[in-house]
Chain A
Amino acid sequence: GESVGLHLPTLSVQEGDNSIINCAYSNSASDYFIWYKQESGKGPQFIIDIRSNMDKRQGQRVTVLLNKTVKHLSLQIAATQPGDSAVYFCAESLEGDSTLTFGKGTMLLVSP
């Protein structure tokens, strides 16, 4: 299930389940979005990106969905593994501007 901590919402799943992590972005003009994975004590690691002219993009075990109407982004992880446990951040930017604005993040906990 999902719970909201003091600062970081947490999603707890069982190994093998599919996980869905959501993000509400702030700027309706943003046209480039990235999902990052951050393990404890490390820098963010690129997972997948999507531009605003698309509403879905698939990678290996991951899918990103973009709903521009409601400014919502989601990351779907198939067959979640314990190694997927980390904090996941969405980030948004404007075309021609490399500055990224990060969302609040969601902690994913995968139980074996």
Chain B
Amino acid sequence: GAVVSQHPSWVICKSGTSVKIECRSLDFQATTMFWYRQFPKQSLMLMATSNEGSKATYEQGVEKDKFLINHASLTLSTLTVTSAHPEDSSFYICSALRRTSGEQYFGPGTRLTVT
């Protein structure tokens, strides 16, 4: 089966610092990756769509200068939370769209805590 990994699985950072989260498709190529944010006891909210080799498309209300997305290859997308604040603490989940089948596979998530 298709596997998507995220690194790190959890991270604690201080307010004002930046944190980078990686999303990798391990055994398939993904032209498109999606980034979601999930607060406790809530649903997944799409933040942005990341396309390989082009700029990401952000959902309404998501600050593109705060959440930097880079999709430099067909197997890697990164999300950088810049100048993190405690309200950015959340569970960040990525998914990858398999180029050959169009199926979407989710990563295990990254727990970000900003102190």
Contact = CB atoms under 8 A, between A and B. Distances in A.
A85 to B, nearest CB: 15
Main DSSP-derived SS at the B contact region: strand
B46 A100 contact: yes
A6 B41 contact: yes
Given A43-B106, A43-B108, A44-B106, A105 B34 contact: no
A6 B108 CA distance: 25
B104 A7 contact: no
Main DSSP-derived SS at the A contact region: loop
Interface residues of A, number: 20
A44 B93 contact: yes
Interface string A89-112: 100000000111111110000000
B41 A7 contact: yes
Nearest to B108: A43
A61 interface: no
Contacts of A36: 106
A99 B32 CA distance: 10
B97 interface: yes
B49 A99 contact: yes
A42 B102 CA distance: 22
Contact of B93 (A8, A43, A104, A105): A43
Interface in A60-112: 89, 98-105
B43 A99 contact: no
B43 A104 contact: yes
29 contacts: A5-B41, A7-B41, A7-B42, A41-B91, A41-B111, A42-B108, A42-B109, A43-B93, A43-B106, A43-B107, A43-B108, A44-B44, A44-B106, A46-B106, A89-B44, A98-B32, A98-B34, A98-B97, A98-B102, A99-B34, A99-B46, A100-B46, A100-B104, A101-B46, A102-B43, A102-B44, A102-B45, A105-B42, A105-B43
Interface of A: 5-8, 36, 41-46, 89, 98-105
